[in-house]
Structure 1
Amino acid sequence: MPAEAIRGLLLNCGPYDLSIVDGPSGLLGWAAHTIGWSYLGKRDYLDDPLTSTLSLVDHVYPGFPPVYLSGGNGDPLTTGGKLYAQRLAEAGTQVDTLFVPDDYTDPTSSEKPPHEYQFDLRLDAAQTSLERTLAFLDAHTSGKA
């Protein structure tokens, strides 16, 4: 596929910075192990040279298409999302972000929006994310961008 065919990227709550892994027995460690195994095709992948390619924050370069990046304040992966957005912007990528403020509690659930909050459309934060996602898609697929 030619690079110009990709008009933009929608990224929600992803594991962009695997340096936050909390050891092999923690939740993030389990997730990192699963990701590594999935991408590299073997359970014992830590010594594989390709392991260093899994943390996307370390692999940013000019020429990325526009990116929409979102994360909830109750999601431990949001810190990596913010770093990824910063590095993309520093590389000249057009970045549209929606990171829920640290002190926000969703009035619908009385909780901080968790990992993948965007899919629970009962949440006000999810409704905002949906609106912003649709606006990003419209801007980058309708010839306006």
Structure 2
Amino acid sequence: MRATGLRARALARTTARGAAAAAGLLAVATRVTPWPSALAIRAIFDRGAARANTSLARHVPSGLVEDVDEAYDISSPDGRLDVFRPERPGPLPTVVWVHGGAFVSGSKRDVANYLRVLAGRGFATVGVDYSIAPGSRYPTPVGQVAAALAYLVDHADRLGVDPTRIVLAGDSAGAQIAAQVALLVTDEQYAHGVGVAVELPPDALRGVVLFCGAYDFTLARGSTRLGSWLVDTAIWSYLGSQRHDERVTLQGSIPPNLTPAFPPVFVSAGNGDPLLPHTLRLVESLAEHGVGHEALLFADDRQPRLGHEFQFDLDTAAGREALDRSVAFIQRVTS
């Protein structure tokens, strides 16, 4: 019995030392590469996005036409897009949606049911896949969305989209990417600086719909340790360095680069969203530049508080309001 106890204690000490060593290695790894933290965020976000998409299934209308996994870039497995539209003659005003996921997760599957719901309101809707960080970094996703737009223009007749009535849209990280592509479309000098050309006339981009985005990389990281870890990991993964290159940080931020030529904007975020300061900063900058915009914001004391990506919950009054208001905006700018 004594020998058994000694062996058990020795095994426990060995296990503890092994766990401590593993924890130490993980701590070191998270200081030199964003991969461990990015993979943790990816696992959390992917589960949440899948649940949200599943809950939207009950709201999907019947009678839709779907073209899925269209290859807008045959050189990349991520260069795919989905098109949803009602069974009616085209061409239809088209909403091109860039999914979120903190730049390190997500796919067009996550927003497919929401885009089906939007298509039921009379639009062609497009979900765009792009390569996520840390495997792919800025400005790769921006260039991919630009390539997707070019593909839609080239295949407009077959897909039932109207290339003269495009609305760019996105949520979370996808909202930042969509807004940056809108900058590329409307500011040739800015596009030259980024090194990404968009083959879409500025007057074809009728508007932008943005939910819960991270628009300004120069803002403070987060108000909590968890929030700071998440935001720091996302930006490190996407921009490629912990010591953020000031030029890239400013270039990827939307408010400092706005011009009066930016298209009309519908923008929204919940009162409990950690990224709400980004939306408030964007709204302020839109007003400063005289850009037409409609903001759906909520009182700070509203209960229950509306968190990140609140718009995808169509079982709530706030989610339905966001859908109805954004649909009315899209109808107005594409009419």
TM over 0.5: yes
1:8 alignment partner, one of 191, 196, 207: 207
1:65 alignment partner, one of 234, 239, 263: 263
Higher strand share: 2
**Rg bigger for which structure?**
2
Deviation at 1:55, TM superposition (A): 2.6
Distance 1:48 1:93 in 2: 26
**Aligned counterpart, 2:254:** 56
Q: Post-superposition, which runs of at least 4 consecutive aligned residues in structure 1 deviate over 3 A? A: none
Q: Give the number of aligned pairs.
A: 134
**Aligned counterpart, 1:77:** 275
TM-score under structure 2 normalisation? 0.37
**Aligned counterpart, 1:127:** 320
Q: Deviations over 1:92-124 (max 9, x none)?
A: 11010101111111xxxxx20101100011111
Deviation at 1:48, TM superposition (A): 6.0
**Aligned counterpart, 1:108:** none
Deviation at 1:49, TM superposition (A): 2.6
**Aligned counterpart, 2:234:** 34
Distance 2:242 2:273 in 1: 27
Distance 2:253 2:332 in 1: 28
| Amino acid corresponding to residue 82 of structure 1 in structure 2 | L
Distance 1:59 1:74 in 2: 27
TM-score under structure 1 normalisation? 0.81
Q: Is the 8 A contact 1:17 1:80 kept in 2?
A: yes
Runs (5+) with no aligned partner, structure 2: 1-199
Distance 2:214 2:283 in 1: 13
| Amino acid corresponding to residue 7 of structure 1 in structure 2 | R
Deviation at 1:16, TM superposition (A): 1.5
Runs (5+) with no aligned partner, structure 1: 106-110
Structure with bigger RCO (C-alpha 8 Å, 6+ apart)? 1
Deviation at 1:54, TM superposition (A): 2.6
Query: Structure 1's 81 and 48: CA in aligned 2 closer, same or farther, altered over 3 A?
Result: closer
Higher helix share: 2
Deviation at 1:62, TM superposition (A): 1.3
**Aligned counterpart, 2:142:** none
**Aligned counterpart, 2:7:** none
The 3-state SS of whatever aligns with 1:8 is strand
| Amino acid corresponding to residue 132 of structure 1 in structure 2 | R
The 3-state SS of whatever aligns with 1:4 is helix
Question: What is the RMSD computed on CA atoms of the aligned residues?
Answer: 2.0
Q: Is the 8 A contact 2:222 2:231 kept in 1?
A: no
Query: Structure 1's 122 and 28: CA in aligned 2 closer, same or farther, altered over 3 A?
Result: farther
